[in-house]
Structure 1
Amino acid sequence: MLEHGGNLRDAALRFGRDDWLDLSTGINPHWYPVPALAGNAWHRLPEADPALARAAAEYYDAPLMLPVAGTQAAIQALPRLRPPSRVVVAAPSYAEHAHHWGRHGHSMRQVPYAELDAALPACDVMVVCNPNNPTGATVPPQQLLGWAAQLAARGGWLVVDEAFGDTARDASVAAHSGQTGLIVLRSVGKFFGLAGVRLGFVAAQPALLNELADLLGPWTVSGPAQEIALAALRDRAWQSAMRRQLGDSGARLHRLLAEHHIDSSGCALFQWWPEPRAEQFWQHMAERGIWVRLFQQAARGIRLGLPPDAAGWQRLEVALTEWTKEAA
């Protein structure tokens, strides 16, 4: 299995402490307040609730959406719905995409974001995270739609992973997901801070969604997850307030890093930078009980999520100050 953020058990095994400040995931530390659930949510088989798909389509501004057990389920299944194809996965990005396209008979290669346009004529499927995880870079919607049209003309797909798209709504192409060959993935785990419910959505043409649903089988999303997500997707007041809060917090994190001579990029939920001394920075933070995401493969760098409270911000600032002094 690939390594991901949020692996605090690994942190505890390596460094032997239990007071971790987990900044390794980019998940909103202020999760949606889960409502009380109906008693039978735990009892009944979780047949798909049409209200959930409608609420998701309205929230994400998409024509049609299929609920899945986290976008991870779709990432693992989509490569199985195509014959052997030439696949380009933008790099660096969420590693599960390249991992699964490479396992199902496809010819897969990873291409830097700046070279995607040039790579388009030689592929049948292109996979792009937008905003990108881990760098936060975005591709303009019109460029994505142009790529999708070119791929669709030869029976191809453009898969756009918008898991971090809730705070960058103008960059979304979900509204256009009814067009042939465009597949958009969304998640309630990041913005809503509900990674534990394992719920995401796929927007695409009806025929492709039917194929995906058949492959995934019945009861893919638990009853409690459906109830919780339905409340979160309908709560416009919470969503608006949280977007403002995360925008302020993301800007604060960017400023804090800049004060310590770190030139970072990212989105409202995390910051990333190519760190020449990435392993040393990761070690420095871990020794102080701060768990950050170390990238060593496609891009050597560090990703930092948002602290949850004033104590967390103070703890991060102290650790950064000590790092700056040591590096001087």
Structure 2
Amino acid sequence: MSDPWTWHGGGLEAAKRRFGGADWIDLSTGINPHPWPGAATMAFDWQRLPDTQDLARLEAVAAGYFGVDARHVCAVPGTEIGLRLVGALIGGPAQHMAPGYRTHGAMIAGSAAVTWPDMGDRAGHLILANPNNPDGRALAAGAMQDLLERRSGWLLVDEAFADADPASSIAASAGDGRRLVVFRSFGKFFGLAGVRLGFVLAPQAIVAALRERLGAWPLSAAAIAIGTAAYADAGWIAAARQRLGEEAAALDAMLVRRGHRPVGACPLFRLIEVDDAHALFERLARCAILTRPFADQPRWLRLGLPADAVALERLDAALVDG
């Protein structure tokens, strides 16, 4: 199986070159197929540098959304960069939950993989996602608080998929005196991954160190304006959460009818287990449907949320035709 599809979601152009065809359905990522619509109507002055006051307003609006004081919020140009910068700041020893996001194992040199429910050495730092990717496992807020209280090292929590159901989020606990760093992603829930916007919620000392490393103008004016407006759009956010839940239920029902057992608590994607996931990946790709296989888990296939009933019906037909 080629790296473009097993390394991460996406790779649609590579799939077109490999399999041909047109009118592709990209289910390889866990990104909301219904993006926040306001970005399409916004205009930007590309001749001006981003304003520092606008950046501060974005962080204040995002802080209110996360339920944390703005002093503990640092906007970053994508969560990937935030993870790696914090990893370099904190150092080891560390452990990361597996299976999980590849960067979790790379952000601190020498980090050792541990599996759920084994949390490994409580004295070291622990890196995990909640909800997790790719299996969608979600820990309740109480369980996350217990993890924070039991460890003497830092708890580093990637909440990239927490927006769809924030009940399990530990973001509001970020602050001084707590060895907790929370990472939040804008692009997944708001469906605008190309904006490249994320946030690090941490003690003020970590926030200050991040700002020093990011330097002046860490975000584009477009990212600042889009993020500020989207996080303030409470009506769209509530409607999106309801819609995603309903569409995930429809996907689950279809998969069950086709003999699969969908796994995952995050409505943006589901994981299924089959005898040969790579063969199913290729069969769906020949129907112009891109999914996500895994090099180290040959029985796993992850499917993102279809954008509409037509896409769901095409996926249904492709699963039957095999």
TM-score by length of 2: 0.92
Query: What is the number of equivalent residue pairs in this alignment?
Result: 311
| Structure 2 unaligned blocks of 5 or more | none
Give distance in 1, aligned partners of 2:198 and 2:138: 21
Could you tell me which residue of structure 1 aligns to residue 267 of structure 2? 268
The answer to whether the 8 Å contact 2:276/2:298 transfers is no
Q: CA deviation at 1:262?
A: 0.6
1:110 alignment partner in structure 2: 113
Change (3 A) 1:300 1:77: farther
Equivalence map 1:41-120=2 (5 Å): 42-48=46-52, 49-63=55-69, 64-83=72-91, 85-101=92-108, 106-116=109-119, 119-120=120-121
How far apart are 1:38 and its partner, in Å? 4.7
Q: What does residue 14 of structure 2 align with?
A: 10
Whole-Å Cα distance in 1 between the matches of residues 26 and 9 of structure 2?
9
Matching residue of 1:326: none
Kept in 2: contact 1:128–1:159 (CA 8 A): yes
SS of the residue aligned with 2:47? coil
Query: Once the two structures are superposed, what CA deviation does each residue of 1:222-247 show, in whole Å capped at 9, x if it has no partner?
Result: 10111011110000111111111001
CA positional deviation for 1:299: 7.3
Match of 1:166 in 2: 163
2:306 aligned partner: 307
Shift of 1:12: 1.4
The answer to which of 142-151 and 278-287 deviates more is 142-151
- Counterpart CA distance in 2 for 1:315 and 1:146 is 43
State the AA in 2 paired with 1:200: G
Task: Output the amino acid matched with 1:61.
Answer: G
- Partner-residue secondary structure (3-state), 2:218: coil
1:29 match: 33
Cα RMSD of the aligned pairs, angstroms, is 1.7
1:101-140 equivalences under 5 Å are 101=108, 106-116=109-119, 119-121=120-122, 123-140=123-140
Alpha-carbon separation, structure 2, partners of 1:303 and 1:35? 29
Cα distance per residue 1:172-201 (max 9 Å; x no partner): 000101152101111111110010100011
CA contact (8 A) 1:47 1:218 kept: no
Contact 1:264 1:271 in 2 (8 A): yes
| Conservation of the 8 A alpha-carbon contact between 2:141 and 2:169 | yes
Q: What's the secondary structure of 1:107's corresponding residue?
A: coil
Consecutive unaligned residues of structure 1, counting only runs of 5 or more, are: 324-328
Q: Equivalents in 2 of 1:18, 1:181: separation in Å?
A: 49
Native 8 Å contact 1:185 1:201 kept in 2: yes
Misfit runs of 4+, over 6 Å: none
- Once the two structures are aligned, what percentage of the paired residues are identical? 37
Which of residues 253, 257, 260 is equivalent to 1:259?
257
Query: Retained in 2: the 8 A contact 1:92–1:299?
Result: no
Q: Is the contact made by 2:35 and 2:192 (CA closer than 8 Å) also made in structure 1?
A: yes
Q: Is the 8 A contact 2:104 2:128 kept in 1?
A: no
Write the distance in 1 (CA, Å) between the matches of 2:202 and 2:150: 16
Residue in 1 aligned with 2:195?
197
* 1:276 Cα deviation after fit: 2.5
Q: What letter corresponds to residue 56 of structure 1 in structure 2?
A: A
How far 1:274 sits from its partner (Å)?
2.8
CA distance in 1 between counterparts of 2:113 and 2:31 reads 25
